[in-house]
Structure 1
């Protein structure tokens, strides 16, 4: 049995890049422009969600009366501007990506952000860093549904149970675990409860591809 996972599936916002503050700032701006007040409590409820779910939540809990697609476009526009100015990589993420590539372990990006933002982030990395990119606007069901992770496994031609997912939110962890992917939760903006099939670590800093196998085995036992 190999001591490496067949592939590693990466969440993006909050896991690969620290863009959650960008999203929260964009939500505050859009709501305040409509004459409302947004709270961090509301913002934290949206972490990891499908963007259509988040847009509807904003409509339901603020004076913003835009169509959900217009809300998403305005959020993405603001976040992409900030990402193009500065990509805020999470600690240890780039190093782990490089180590996986050196071991010929493919990585896939599995994000509920839409293709336009994913392309901005992936474009800041060496070509070929991700063997597949699954985005929220290209799946029928977003996280916490398992579809995004099942789509990633199909795209790479691997068995979900032989891979590892890295997530930072309860929504994302439930999506990965529901797809049968042993999952490493690295909580960031919001806490992640204990979920069967997942293990937790405080950071990616210092983790190696073979460390993921150890965590993967722990997740399978869970």
Structure 2
């Protein structure tokens, strides 16, 4: 029986993936580069970042550093001014500063288990990315992947469950109890 659910934040609890893409797209456009969204989605599915296309096209590190700063500023602006809420989400309390190694390492989810005093078998992770799924699998925790526009091309073979929205959690929890 699942007693605990550990949620990824970006893309699952808040709708930020689009705005992250838009920030990178805007910053790269100012540097004279057009970010191809389909390639971006393929790159991020493989764990590459926003800059893979620009690097391949020959953009130098100095320019990328300037673009990254601009992207970060645009992203913060979007987070303050755009609707990023997802219906049915409550505040969460485990943050990046609560662990040392980021995903795809298992530490974020192991820290969650420790925080709640939970066992792997009684926990379900909800993720939306290959990097997050890898983290959950490395921690030995079942994972439900929520598909979105940014992950629809991925089949997530290691996922225990695949759902189209958070409302699909109800069926998973009824199934595993």
TM-score, normalised relative to structure 1: 0.63
Instruction: Choose which of 121, 127, 138 in structure 2 pairs with 1:161.
Output: 121
Instruction: Write out aligned runs for 1:142-181 (5 A).
Output: 142-181=102-141
Instruction: Write out aligned runs for 1:119-130 (5 A).
Output: 129-130=91-92
Deviations 1:81-135 (A, max 9, x none): 1111133223x442xx4xxxxxxxxxxxxxxxxxxxxxxxxxxxxxxx3232236
Shift of 1:17: 1.9
Instruction: Choose which of 7, 11, 18 in structure 1 pairs with 2:8.
Output: 11
Instruction: Write out aligned runs for 1:53-202 (5 A).
Output: 54=49, 57=52, 60-62=55-57, 63=59, 65-66=61-62, 72-90=68-86, 92-94=87-89, 97=90, 129-134=91-96, 139-140=100-101, 142-188=102-148, 189-191=150-152, 192-202=154-164
Shift of 1:21: 1.3
Contact 1:177-1:198 within 8 A present in 2 as well: no
TM-score, normalised relative to structure 2: 0.77
Shift of 1:41: 2.7
Contact 1:17-1:87 within 8 A present in 2 as well: no
Distance 1:68 1:47, change over 3 A: farther
Shift of 1:64: 5.2
CA RMSD of aligned residues (A): 3.1
CA distance in 1, matches of 2:17, 2:135: 19
CA distance in 2, matches of 1:89, 1:204: 13
Shift of 1:171: 2.3
Stretch of structure 1 that moved more, 71-80 or 16-25: 71-80
Q: How many pairs were matched up? A: 173
Long gaps (5+) in structure 2: none
